Amino acid sequence: MLIPAIGVVRKCANWNETAEARSSWAGLARQMELLEQGKIDCLVRPDARFVDRLFTNRECIAKVSLLCVGGDLSDGRLARLGELPNVRCLTAIGGKNIDAFLKNMGSTPTLQEIALLYTYPTDDTVRLICDLPNLRSLHLSFTHGKDDSLRHLNNHCSLEVLSLDGVRCDERLLTILQSIPHLRRCTLGYRDIGMTFEASLRKAVPACHVRISPAR
């Protein structure tokens, strides 16, 4: 009875995979419908298996301003999302292999805002993000990682809004923030902070709105 039982398990697994794919396509098709109608301007967690099908609808993809991704982002088929002609904001929630995703997407010129939520950056993550030519706003969490990679923010020429959670507020970070010429809003969630850091930061960047609180 073992061999027939294995056959049944395999058939059930194949059926579940097919049913899941149908459900995933149905969700994406619904988003495409709402995009065409102008009711939404976001694309949420598109399935890599259907990205090529998404790009057959040029009118639909032209209306995507906000892209939200999550889960395993290593699939090379997601690279086409970098071709979205008007995507302005990328949010990753619980994303894995974010470095592979950013490399695959390439230097998307329209991207201005990046937020990584429960998606912890590596050194490559920050470097790839900072290489985006028109980056204006960035949110990163270092609650579960090292913040050494913040050196890539040094002298960033277009960044205006920066939110960092779980960082060490010390002289090194102060120097980095002071080097960003157009920074006008800075929100910091600290895991450690020097006694004079806040006063020194406000003095160093007087035109920037600063908000500092303990890390979440």
Tell me the DSSP string of 140-165. Answer: EE-TTS--GGGGGGTT-SS--EEEEE
- On whether residue 189 sits in a domain, the answer given is yes
> Which residue segment(s) compose the domain that 55 sits in?
33-214
Taking the C-alpha atoms of residue 172 and residue 147, their distance in angstroms, rounded to an integer, is: 11
Position 80, amino acid: R
CATH of the domain at 122: 3.80.10.10
pLDDT at 21: 57
Q: Which two tokens stand for residue 130?
A: 């900072």
Identify any residues that bridge with 72 across adjacent strands, giving them in sequence order: 96
How many CA atoms, within 13 angstroms, populate the side-chain half-sphere of residue 40? Answer: 15
In a domain, 7, yes or no: no
- Give the chain's end-to-end CA distance (angstroms, integer): 54
- Model pLDDT, residue 106: 82
Are 164 and 185 in contact, with CB atoms under 8 Å apart? no
Q: How far apart are CA 83 and CA 87, in angstroms?
A: 9
Supply angle C-alpha 156, 162, 165, rounded to 5: 125
As a whole number of angstroms, the distance between CA 194 and CA 151 comes to 19
In a domain, 65, yes or no: yes
Question: Does 82 reside within a domain?
Answer: yes
pLDDT at position 6 = 41
Residues 166 and 191: beta-carbon distance below 8 Å? yes
Q: Which residues of the chain have pLDDT under 50?
A: 1-17
Q: Strand pairing partners for 93?
A: 70, 117
For residue 23, is it within any domain?
A: no
For the whole model, what pTM was predicted?
A: 0.86
125 CB-near residues (< 8 Å, 6+ apart): 98, 99, 102, 116, 149
**17 assigned to some structural domain:** no
Q: Looking at the 3D structure of the chain, how many domains does it have?
A: 1
In a domain, 15, yes or no: no
Structural domain contains residue 161: yes
